[in-house]
Structure 1
Amino acid sequence: MIKLIKNGEIYSPDYLGRKDILIVGDRIGYIKENIDVPNDFVDIEVIDAENQLVVPGFIDSHVHIVGGGGEGSYKTRTPEIQLTDITKGGVTTIIGVLGTDGTTRTMSNLLAKARGLEEEGISCWVHTGSYQVPVRTVTGSIQDDIILIDKIIGVGEIAISDHRSSQPTVADIAKLAAEARVGGILSGKGGIINIHMGSGERRFDYLEEIVENTEIPITQFLPTHVARNEELLEAAIRYGQKGGFLDLTTSTTKQFSDDDITKCSRALRELLDNNVNINNITFSSDGQGSLPKFDDKGKFIKLGIGKVTSLYKEVRDAILDENIPIQDALKVITVNPANILKLDGKGYIDEDYDADIVLIDKESLNIKTVIARGKVMIDNGETLVKGTFEE
């Protein structure tokens, strides 16, 4: 029940220096310069974090937890994600989404899987809907889903500018945003619309038109896959300079795309160099989603699968290869998604926050230990907790 992390350098993600952290149950109880273990007291598990960085557990805001895909027919439907697919990447909180397939992958599946992952030890919420418009909800209403169902915090991923989308109009997207916004306001949730950005030439046109011609703020949208190609990234820079949120996808590779994809760590550097606010940028993995490749006629060629472990890899590359300060690089997978999605108790190392903590080797920046809600999932590289059906 009680754990003490000693001798680590804390990034909250802002640098706090060398401090000790006392974990009581699933929460952070105290952060002090030095915490001694008292004599003749209850057993306290001491974790020595010497030569390690102590950082918040990572948040992956776009994961296909019930699988995705099917673009190459039924046999290409990707399988459900397993617990260690998540925790090995230092991720302690995820947001589940559907995707292209809103027929054989349903909201009931999504909610059940989210609750199952929570039973196994991590935190999980979901968005209502899939690529398609009209959105297939649980209650029949986006607003009701967000207000009445605890696990539903937003809408998405809704596809635009993509040959697989249902080709919604500007008015369609505006109505979705209005419902999500009111649902979020009335429930204290983010009410964000997660927008799948395809490679079509419309890019951010729809979102910018809504912001210009309605009362819906630009911060109601979280467009993802925005480094899909150079033209889209350039449009994303302009959108970000106006105050819009931007999500970079860490799983996508040129091997499984016809687009000229910009590596996430490099794209982050470009956004920052062009004065996009670091607080408005997130990374997500698209984990367990399909990575289909089509030819120039739209014919399916081959398929890959997204990995949650790609999330921290790109953050690490941003630090080592792009010289982005550790505290800034960490923000895109900790405080930023927590603030944008209104995830209370997440994203920071602070007293009375959830005890979601990752220990990273100071020299190699490799993940060593992962703690989710106060429970050690990975200990010095060894998996201690596996999913129900994992060997």
Structure 2
Amino acid sequence: MSKLVRFQLSLMMFLEFFIWGGWFVTLGTYLGYNLDATDVQISTAFSTQSWGAIIAPFIVGMIADRFFNAEKILGILHLTGAILMYFMYQSTDFTEFYPLVLAYMIAYMPTLALVNSVSFAQMKDPAKEFSFIRVFGTIGWIIAGLVISYIFFWDSPESRQEGMLKNTFLMVSIASAFLGIFSFTLPKTPPSADKSKKVSVVETLGLDALGLLKDRNFLMFFLASVLICIPLAFYYQNTNPFLSEVGVENPTGLMTIGQASEVLFLLLLPFFFKRFGFKLTIIAGMLAWTLRYLLFAYGNSGELIFMLITGIALHGICYDFFFVSGQIYTDFKAGSKYKSSAQGLITLATYGVGMLIGFYVAGLITNAYVTGDKMHEWETIWVYPAAFAFGVLLLFALFFRNEKIDKKDIEI
């Protein structure tokens, strides 16, 4: 890979996740403070991510993989997203905002697969080269949070009251327009699928891998993956509003600690995975979910702020030890026949169905503990996902039988 191509792919990945992190983290806070949205409405807005994840395989599998260059579709989708983001920036009520965010997520979620496709097409050895490119995505997410908190101060109490958080949508609109135009300069990535071969909806969604559920262990892992997305939804939806409400300064910037820890624990995962095995790795991830929410429940913005920071820093274990190791396990169980289909099935089940249920549940529970003037009983709210994550842990620990995965199957 030439230095120019490496630069292009790194910038593409940086912008891809700068765009996502530049508005999604503060979405709940913005909707509550500036559009007077209820917690149920906020959860509905977050659930658009799930609808986007459900629809994305159709766009990628039935269009991008068969008819058009990936970089061109990437450009069109981001230019479309730039327009939608600008209209979101101008929205004044939730009724007007919701269809825009839904349309945006339907356009954005397929780009997550497209940037990977463009990257892999330029690599001779993706197992060694991809991580260097992908890390720029995490850096992009971190930079977005730091810009919001420490350069523009849009999430400060004064700025929130003045409605300055809406500027995140304008910032992302500009970044989307730039990435949309830049995408047309990326290396050509023609369709990879055989146009003469008909691909069914079942294959596109990865549903042909449902046969793997006959394996008891994979079934338990599959169920745990769906269920753990319920407490995961609490984190995405509630953390920024929670930190803002309890008086933590620069909450968006503080949350970037979670992405930094994700990079760190991704490096530690191969050692932990090989040393302790898949089952204990997954259990450690679920235990981290429980601990994180208990820290949120009983910490505060004063002397116990270290508990909130620790809870955020646990993101690396929560995400990497469960979801990344789960992707490795899925690849191991699927074999050559269902490799792509099985990964698609897990993605559909987690970010699609699981998160859709999770956002709905999170919205109902959060809305049930409003104390007045949109303040919340956060201690009670956070106990729910902590207890739920621990319940999933017990279910997995009791019914999943430990099995050895050959070291050669572990590639991160």
| TM-score, normalised relative to structure 2 | 0.25
Higher strand share: 1
Task: Give 1 or 2: higher helix fraction.
Answer: 2
- TM-score by length of structure 1 reads 0.26
Kindly indicate whether structure 1 or structure 2 has the higher relative contact order, using CA contacts under 8 Å at least 6 residues apart.
2
